[in-house]
């Protein structure tokens, strides 16, 4: 049986040149057994008429907030309560801004506030608009709030420009809706480590590194969205703990290892993104050491190797590591994969622009223990998270 069978989907269509493609989406959803209620914005009506959708869905098409097709019900509240998914495709720059800031000045935006249904958004717009910082900020706000985006793709746009902004194709949009209805990682227990560790030298100084935690947090957030049961073990970062994940805050490598060992038996998949300090001061100075004229030599001792420890007792876990390297990326990553008994390593050249610490983007290569490789282009850390989790899901399915 199709996952869409008997599901109630609100399809919001906004004023984009790609609005005609929403007819195909409505048609495919209806054919798959969903009950589709189409909501058009006033501007969408300039591009496509309600008659098209009424014929496809065999249901009334909704436009005006003050229309009441059924006398005893307030339409937007009734629809909002019934919906399983609110899909907005195509989504204009305008609707993204309204959704991000909670504006409710028409039926679609009011519905979006009144519903608890999962939100899937497929934007379409000119490349310059899509890349505008205001739009990207709105996308970030909505993603953090749990919306599932189907990013626009590169191609020839209606305005003649070539670039990112074209509405994703219907199968990709339907797959996103399907994943929201039937989360692909439901029942999978994922342990993620993130951030740096701090190794105290005295009461006010420590050894650390510039890891922001963004990659690990993006993986934890995405895994929650895909239905996984997520535990995040994190070193000190400035990020908000991901909603829906159990977050354990630690400071040192030893504390991170302890937390991971405690959680290990309750995890199916471990994704270690934390940038763990390889060394710690052999002695921690009590209180703050006063500034003086003499040299201060700090003796460092190796920290426990968390991945190696987990790899040595791997059992049925899928163990994934990250290799941040500045040279010989793939060889070094492969050595780490083998020596630590990992299933997958994500090789990350931190010397490249847009990659590694503190950035919002990453360019990585996935290397599996069986020798297979997948090089991903530069993309947002959230997209990297999505690709990585999909690769892991395939591995789980193959078992």
Q: Which of residues 6-25 bind ligand FMN (CB under 6 A)?
A: 14-18
Residue placing its CB nearer to ligand FMN in the complex, 152 or 356: 152
- Least distance (Å) from ligand FMN to the CB of residue 138? 11
Among 23, 25, 95, 194, binds ligand FMN (CB under 6 A): 95
Q: Which of residues 125-144 bind ligand FMN (CB under 6 A)?
A: 125, 129
Among 3, 24, 27, 43, binds ligand FMN (CB under 6 A): 43
Residue placing its CB nearer to ligand FMN in the complex, 97 or 298: 97
**217 in helix, strand or coil?**
helix
Residue placing its CB nearer to ligand FMN in the complex, 14 or 211: 14
159 is catalytic: yes
- Least distance (Å) from ligand FMN to the CB of residue 45? 9
36, β-bridge pairs: 9
Among 4, 36, 41, 48, binds ligand FMN (CB under 6 A): 41
**345 in helix, strand or coil?**
strand
Are 242 and 220 in contact by the 8 Å Cβ rule? The answer is yes
Residue placing its CB nearer to ligand FMN in the complex, 98 or 206: 98
Q: Which of residues 285-304 bind ligand FMN (CB under 6 A)?
A: none
Among 39, 48, 61, 124, binds ligand FMN (CB under 6 A): 124
Among 93, 180, 201, 392, binds ligand FMN (CB under 6 A): 93
CA 212 → CA 67, 278, 397, distances in Å?
49, 17, 32
* 369-377 long-range contacts, CB within 8 A, separation 24+: 369/337, 369/338, 369/342, 369/343, 369/344, 373/330
> How big is the site for ligand FMN, counted in residues (CB under 6 A)?
15
| C-alpha span between 364 and 307 (Å, rounded) | 19
Q: What is the dihedral of CA 384, 390, 394, 397, to 10 degrees?
A: 140
- Least distance (Å) from ligand FMN to the CB of residue 77? 21
| C-alpha span between 22 and 396 (Å, rounded) | 34
- Tell me whether strands 206-207 and 269-272 are parallel, antiparallel or unpaired: unpaired
| C-alpha span between 345 and 322 (Å, rounded) | 5
Binding status of residue 44 toward ligand FMN by CB under 6 A: yes
Binding status of residue 92 toward ligand FMN by CB under 6 A: yes
**Residue range at the interface with ligand FMN (CB under 6 A); choices 37-45, 57-65, 249-257, 342-350:** 37-45
Binding status of residue 54 toward ligand FMN by CB under 6 A: no
Residue placing its CB nearer to ligand FMN in the complex, 138 or 362: 138
Counting beta carbons within 10 angstroms of the beta carbon of residue 330, is it exposed (0 to 12), middle (13 to 18) or buried (19 or more)? middle
How far is residue 203 CA from its own chain's centroid?
A: 37
**Residue range at the interface with ligand FMN (CB under 6 A); choices 93-101, 236-244, 253-261, 366-374:** 93-101
| C-alpha span between 137 and 385 (Å, rounded) | 19
- Least distance (Å) from ligand FMN to the CB of residue 120? 16
Are 348 and 385 in contact by the 8 Å Cβ rule? The answer is no
Residue in 55, 128, 153, 159 annotated catalytic:
159
**Residue range at the interface with ligand FMN (CB under 6 A); choices 124-132, 189-197, 199-207, 281-289:** 124-132
- Least distance (Å) from ligand FMN to the CB of residue 63? 11
Binding status of residue 269 toward ligand FMN by CB under 6 A: no
Are 55 and 79 in contact by the 8 Å Cβ rule? The answer is no
Residue placing its CB nearer to ligand FMN in the complex, 90 or 216: 90
Cis peptide before 30 (omega within 30 of 0): no
Residue placing its CB nearer to ligand FMN in the complex, 37 or 199: 37
**Residue range at the interface with ligand FMN (CB under 6 A); choices 51-59, 72-80, 87-95, 185-193:** 87-95
Are 28 and 92 in contact by the 8 Å Cβ rule? The answer is no
Return the H-helix or E-strand segment holding 37. Answer: strand 35-40
Return the H-helix or E-strand segment holding 384. Answer: helix 381-398
Residues taking part in catalysis: 159
Residues lying near ligand FMN in the complex (CB under 6 A) are found at 14-18, 41, 43-44, 92-95, 124-125, 129
């Amino acid at each position: 049986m199709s996952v869409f069978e008997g599901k109630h989907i609100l399809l919001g269509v906004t004023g984009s040149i790609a609005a005609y493609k929403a007819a195909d989406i409505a048609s495919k959803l209806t054919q798959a057994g969903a009950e589709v209620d189409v909501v058009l914005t006033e501007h969408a009506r300039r591009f496509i008429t309600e008659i098209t959708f009424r014929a496809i869905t065999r249901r009334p098409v909704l436009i005006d907030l003050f229309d009441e097709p059924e006398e005893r019900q307030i339409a937007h509240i009734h629809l909002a309560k019934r919906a399983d998914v609110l899909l907005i495709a195509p989504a204009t720059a305008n609707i993204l801004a309204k959704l991000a800031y909670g504006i409710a000045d028409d039926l679609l935006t009011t519905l979006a506030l009144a519903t608890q249904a999962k939100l899937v958004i497929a934007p379409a717009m000119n490349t310059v608009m899509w890349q505008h910082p205001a739009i990207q900020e709105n996308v970030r706000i909505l993603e953090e709030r749990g919306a599932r985006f189907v990013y626009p793709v590169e191609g020839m746009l209606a305005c003649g420009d070539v670039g990112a902004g074209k509405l994703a194709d219907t199968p990709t949009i339907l797959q996103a809706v399907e994943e929201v209805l039937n989360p692909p990682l439901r029942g999978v227990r994922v342990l993620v480590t993130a951030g740096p560790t701090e190794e105290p030298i005295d009461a006010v100084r420590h050894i650390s590194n510039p890891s922001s935690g963004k990659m690990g947090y993006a993986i934890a957030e995405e895994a929650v969205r895909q239905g996984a049961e997520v535990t995040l073990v994190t070193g000190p970062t400035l990020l908000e703990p991901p909603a829906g994940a159990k977050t354990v805050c630690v400071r040192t490598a030893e504390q991170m290892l302890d937390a991971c060992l405690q959680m290990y038996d309750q995890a199916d998949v471990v994704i270690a993104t934390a940038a763990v300090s390889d060394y710690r001061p052999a002695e921690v100075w009590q209180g703050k050491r006063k500034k003086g004229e003499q040299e201060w030599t700090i003796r460092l001792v190796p920290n426990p190797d968390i991945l190696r420890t987990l790899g040595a007792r791997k059992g049925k876990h899928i163990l994934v590591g990250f290799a941040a390297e500045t040279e010989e990326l793939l060889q070094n990553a492969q050595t780490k994969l083998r020596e630590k008994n990992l299933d997958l390593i994500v090789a990350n050249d931190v010397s490249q622009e847009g990659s590694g610490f503190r950035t919002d983007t990453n360019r990585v290569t996935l290397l599996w223990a069986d020798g297979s490789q997948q090089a991903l282009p530069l993309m947002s850390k959230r997209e990297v998270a999505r690709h990585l989790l999909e690769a892991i899901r395939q591995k789980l399915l193959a078992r």
